[in-house]
A and B are shown apart, each in its own frame.
Chain A
C-alpha cells in the first residue's frame, strides 16, 4: 500500500511542478499557453537521451533538459510574445501540434510512436533512485525547490513587472517596461523548470512516448492551475493533487460495478469539476473565490 501511495505522491509532485511553472506565466503574467506539455516532453526526451547516452546522474540530466527546453521556448517566445492574449494561445497551440508531430517522427531521439524504453533510473551521488518511497523524497524536494524559486521570482521586482503586464500591457509599456523581453524571460524560466518535471517523469516511469505530451496533457495541466487557483502559490499544487487523486479514489468505490467503473469514474469526475467551478470559480485556494 505504501508504494502505491508514494507512487501517487510522485506523480502529484511531478504534475505540481508543471502546474506551478505554468501558473508562473499564466497566473502572474497573463500568458495562456497550451503548449506546456511540449516543454514537459522536451525535458523528458532530453533527460532520457542524456541518461542513456551520457550519464543518468541528475546533475547531468537536469541541466541538459532545462537548457534544451529553454532554447525551444525562446524560439517560440521571441516571435509569439509580440502578440497579445488569444493570439499567443493560438501560437502555443500551433507549437503543441508541431511538437507532437516531431515527437512522433524524430525516431532517433524520441523513439517515434513506440517511445523510449528502459530509461535508466535517476542517479544521485552514485545511488540509483527508483523505488516509489525513495523517489518521493526526490520529487517532493524538487517541487519545494521549484516553489521556492517561483516564490522568490514573483516577490521580486521581476514579479511586479509580470503582474503589471498581466493587468495592463499598455500601462506597463508606458512606464518604460520592455514588455516583450519580460514576457520572453518568464516563458523561458517556466519552460526550463517544466523540463525538471520531464526528467523526473521519464526516469521514474522508465518509459515515455508521445501519448503523454499531447494537447490533452497541456489542457490537464491548465485545468490543475485553474481548479487550484491561478495566481497563487499553493493553488497549482492543490489542483494537481485533486485531479490526480480523484480517479484513484473513485477506483476504491467497491460498490461500483467493475464493468461500468470506467464510465462512472468519468461521470463523477466531470460532475465534481463542474460543481467546483460553479461554487469555487476562483479555484480551490483562489483569491477571488465566489466572485
Chain B
C-alpha cells in the first residue's frame, strides 16, 4: 500500500513537473463582458467575435501555446467589473483584457494602469474613453472621428451649412457638441442650435418645434437606444423636413426599419465585408459559416481586439521575451500598424485605433456607403 502511495505521489509529482512548462506556454486573456442583467445580450455579441479570433489564432499556431479567454461577468456595471478585473489581474494573472461599456471601462482603467495590464474597449464610442491612460486602448473609432468625417461631406457635397444638434446629456453627447463647435467653422458652416436632452427623455415635440423654427438645413441626432429612434420619429411627425444625420450608434435594425429613417446620413466604421484582403475575407467567411449571419461592427471590433493580442504576443515571443502588459504596450508602439479586419490600421498616441469612417445613406432599410474618409 505504501509503495502504491509512493508511486502515486511520484507519478503526480512527475505530472506536475511536466505540466509546468506547458502551463507556462498557455496564453489566457481576460474579458469583462455583461453576461447577466439587462445588457447580457451584448455579452453574447461581443463573445462571438472574440471566440472566433481565438479559433483562428489557435488554428494558426502563432503562439507558443493555446490561447483562451477567461470571461468575467461585469453586468455592465462598475462595481462587479472591479471585482472581475481584480480576479483577472491577481488570480488569472492576465496581461490583456477586453472591456465593454463606458462605466466598466472607466472603473477598471485605474486597476489596468496600476497593474500594467492592457484593457481594450471595442464597444463604447464616447471620446472620453481616449483619456484613460496608456494601458487603455480602443479598437473602435470614437465618435469625435465620425463628426470629423461627416461635417465636410454635409457641407461640401450636400451644401448643408446650418446644423441643428440634438444631443443626449452625457459624456458622449457633450463631446459631440464640442466637436461640432470646433469642426463646423473650419468648413464655413455653423451650429444654429444645440438641444441637450436628458438620458431618460422620450418626448421631443417641443424640441421639434424649436428645430423647425431654427431654419437648420440638417439635424444631427447624437443619442442612442430607443431615445434616438423616438427623436427621429417625432421630428418627422412634427413636421421637420430637414435632412437628418447621425453616427454609428444609429446603425441598429430597429432604427433602419423605421420609415422616418429613409434618406438619413449616418457614419460608421468603414469595413467592407466584401474586401479581398486575407484577414477580412477569412473573418467574414468563417463568421458567416459559424454563426449563419453577417458580422456587425461589435463582432469585428472584439475579433480585432483578440487578434491584436495574438499578433503582439507572437512578436514578443519571437523576440524571446515574456508576454506582459508592459511588453504588449511597447510592442504596439514599436509595430505601429496592424492588418486587422477592415484593412491596415494604426493607433493614435492616445491608444485609439484610427479606422476609415464611411459616410452612408439609409435606403430601403439598409445603409449604403457614399464615401470613405481616411484619417492620418
Task: Indicate whether B227 reaches chain A with its CB closer than 8 angstroms.
Answer: no
B83 touches A248 (CB 8 A): yes
Task: Indicate whether A104 reaches chain B with its CB closer than 8 angstroms.
Answer: yes
Q: Mark B116-139, 1 if CB is under 8 A from A, else 0.
A: 000000000010100010000000
Residue of A nearest to B36 (CB): A262
A112 touches B171 (CB 8 A): yes
B170 touches A251 (CB 8 A): no
Cβ distance A152 to chain B, nearest Cβ, rounded Å: 31
Task: Indicate whether B107 reaches chain A with its CB closer than 8 angstroms.
Answer: yes
Tell which of A20-28, A60-68, A86-94, A206-214 binds the partner. Answer: A206-214
Residues of the A chain whose Cβ atoms lie less than 8 Å from the Cβ of B47:
259
- Contact size range, B: 35 or more
Residues of the A chain whose Cβ atoms lie less than 8 Å from the Cβ of B71:
258-259, 261
Residues of A110-130 at the interface with B, using a CB-CB cut-off of 8 Å, are 112-115, 117-118, 130
A7–B89 Cα distance when bound, in Å, is 12
Cβ distance A267 to chain B, nearest Cβ, rounded Å: 10
Q: Mark A250-261, 1 if CB is under 8 A from B, else 0.
A: 010000001101
Residues of the B chain whose Cβ atoms lie less than 8 Å from the Cβ of A274:
none
B170 touches A112 (CB 8 A): yes
A209 touches B80 (CB 8 A): no
A234–B84 Cα distance when bound, in Å, is 27
Task: Indicate whether A8 reaches chain B with its CB closer than 8 angstroms.
Answer: yes
Task: Indicate whether B293 reaches chain A with its CB closer than 8 angstroms.
Answer: no
Instruction: Give the interface centre of A118, A247, A251, A262 by most chain B CB atoms within 10 Å.
Output: A262
A251 touches B87 (CB 8 A): yes
Residues of A1-53 at the interface with B, using a CB-CB cut-off of 8 Å, are 1-4, 7-8, 11
Give the residue of A3, A209, A248 whose beta carbon is less than 8 angstroms from that of B90: A3
By DSSP majority rule, is chain B's interface helix, strand, loop, or mixed?
helix
Task: Indicate whether A266 reaches chain B with its CB closer than 8 angstroms.
Answer: yes
Give the residue of A7, A114, A211, A263 whose beta carbon is less than 8 angstroms from that of B83: A7
B87 touches A266 (CB 8 A): no
B73 touches A205 (CB 8 A): no
Q: Mark B74-93, 1 if CB is under 8 A from A, else 0.
A: 01011110111011011100
Give the residue of A118, A132, A209 whose beta carbon is less than 8 angstroms from that of B78: A209
A130–B132 Cα distance when bound, in Å, is 18
Tell which of B37-45, B56-64, B269-277, B314-322 binds the partner. Answer: B37-45
A205 touches B107 (CB 8 A): yes
Give the residue of A113, A115, A208 whose beta carbon is less than 8 angstroms from that of B199: A113
B90 touches A4 (CB 8 A): yes
A104–B170 Cα distance when bound, in Å, is 9
Residue of A nearest to B108 (CB): A207
A132 touches B86 (CB 8 A): yes
Give the residue of B44, B77, B89, B126 whose beta carbon is less than 8 angstroms from that of A211: B77
Task: Indicate whether B109 reaches chain A with its CB closer than 8 angstroms.
Answer: yes
Known A-B contacts A1-B90, A104-B199; the reply to A207 vs B170 at CB < 8 A is: no
Residues of the A chain whose Cβ atoms lie less than 8 Å from the Cβ of B36:
262-263, 265-266
A265–B40 Cα distance when bound, in Å, is 13
B114 touches A130 (CB 8 A): yes
Cβ distance A224 to chain B, nearest Cβ, rounded Å: 14
A265–B71 Cα distance when bound, in Å, is 14
Residues of the B chain whose Cβ atoms lie less than 8 Å from the Cβ of A115:
78, 103, 106
Give the residue of B44, B83, B110 whose beta carbon is less than 8 angstroms from that of A8: B83
Cβ distance A121 to chain B, nearest Cβ, rounded Å: 9
Task: Indicate whether B169 reaches chain A with its CB closer than 8 angstroms.
Answer: yes
Give the residue of A8, A207, A258 whose beta carbon is less than 8 angstroms from that of B107: A207
Known A-B contacts A11-B79, A261-B73, A265-B36; the reply to A113 vs B43 at CB < 8 A is: no
A114–B44 Cα distance when bound, in Å, is 25
A-B contact pairs, 7 of them (CB 8 A): A3-B89, A7-B82, A112-B171, A130-B114, A209-B106, A247-B80, A259-B35
